[in-house]
Chains A and B, each alone.
Chain A
Amino acid sequence: DSGVTQTPKHLITATGQRVTLRCSPRSGDLSVYWYQQSLDQGLQFLIQYYNGEERAKGNILERFSAQQFPDLHSELNLSSLELGDSALYFCASSVAWDYTFGSGTRLTVV
């Protein structure tokens, strides 16, 4: 157990729907990062939050959004889902330069 908890582990949904992925960082970590990993691409950085504030944005689609709550857990919201959004979504948390990844959420859009 890495200490980073992601739920759900698997999610199957239809095109056009909206889903929410949840991440609880390691105790004490203030930064949360979201990554997408699809079959034909490596890990792509989506967005980072630090202590509730958005810190950096990567290649995140406008249909996607995220937030970090006062208890430091984070949610990634994916809307108007398309087949191409099927992927593994990973959350990582860090303190200083120590990054730890969760086990991911596998999203399948049908």
Chain B
Amino acid sequence: EDQVTQSPEALRLQEGESSSLNCSYTVSGLRGLFWYRQDPGKGPEFLFTLYSAGEEKEKERLKATLTKKESFLHITAPKPEDSATYLCAVRAGNAGNMLTFGGGTRLMVKP
């Protein structure tokens, strides 16, 4: 069974204090690891897709990396507007191609 575990569950940072979020996964035949941002009461908003170990992608203050067992979302010099829940999901090579999500990391950035 595909499993995704995110840590920490919650993270409080001061504005400008860089940190990383972790996503550990167990999946048979990874066909993509996805990062989403979710604001309260809204739908997940796509950030990145990573397909193979060693791959990295960047967008503004965010950088996602992937190994064979985990992914990291690095946040450099965060701002209060980066406060949100960050979700990690995997797509396995099974029928249906649905995404399996982790529990998310709630990030709060204080000014």
Q: How far is the CA of A2 from the CA of B44 in the complex (A)?
A: 10
- Whether the Cβ atoms of B41 and A106 lie closer than 8 Å is yes
Q: Which of B34, B94, B100 is close to A99, meaning CB atoms less than 8 Å apart?
A: B34
- The number of residues on chain B lying at the interface, defined by a beta carbon within 8 Å of a beta carbon of chain A, is 25
- Whether the Cβ atoms of B101 and A42 lie closer than 8 Å is yes
Q: How far is the CA of A101 from the CA of B41 in the complex (A)?
A: 13
Dominant secondary structure at the A interface: strand
Q: How far is the CA of A44 from the CA of B91 in the complex (A)?
A: 14
Q: Which residue of B lies closest to A43 (CB)?
A: B101
With contact pairs A90-B43, A101-B44, A104-B42 given, residues A42 and B104 touching in the complex (Cβ less than 8 Å) = yes
A30 to chain B, nearest CB (A): 12
Give every chain B residue within 8 A of A33 (Cβ-Cβ): 98-99
Q: Which of A41, A56, A104 is close to B43, meaning CB atoms less than 8 Å apart?
A: A104
Q: Which residue of A lies closest to B4 (CB)?
A: A42
Give every chain A residue within 8 A of B45 (Cβ-Cβ): 2, 101
With contact pairs A45-B98, A45-B99, A58-B98 given, residues A97 and B44 touching in the complex (Cβ less than 8 Å) = no
- Whether the Cβ atoms of B43 and A48 lie closer than 8 Å is no
Q: Residues 35-61 of chain A: 1 if any B CB is under 8 Å from the residue's CB, otherwise 0?
A: 100000111110010000001101000
Give every chain A residue within 8 A of B31 (Cβ-Cβ): 97
- Whether the Cβ atoms of B46 and A99 lie closer than 8 Å is yes
Q: How far is the CA of A106 from the CA of B34 in the complex (A)?
A: 24
- Whether the Cβ atoms of A55 and B91 lie closer than 8 Å is no
Q: Which of B32, B44, B95, B97 is close to A43, meaning CB atoms less than 8 Å apart?
A: B44
Q: Which of B36, B95, B104 is close to A56, meaning CB atoms less than 8 Å apart?
A: B95
Q: How far is the CA of A97 from the CA of B91 in the complex (A)?
A: 9
B residues with a Cβ closer than 8 A to A are 31-32, 34, 36, 41-46, 49, 87, 89, 91, 94-104
- The 6 sampled A-B contact pairs (Cβ below 8 Å) are A33-B99, A43-B87, A43-B101, A45-B99, A56-B97, A97-B31
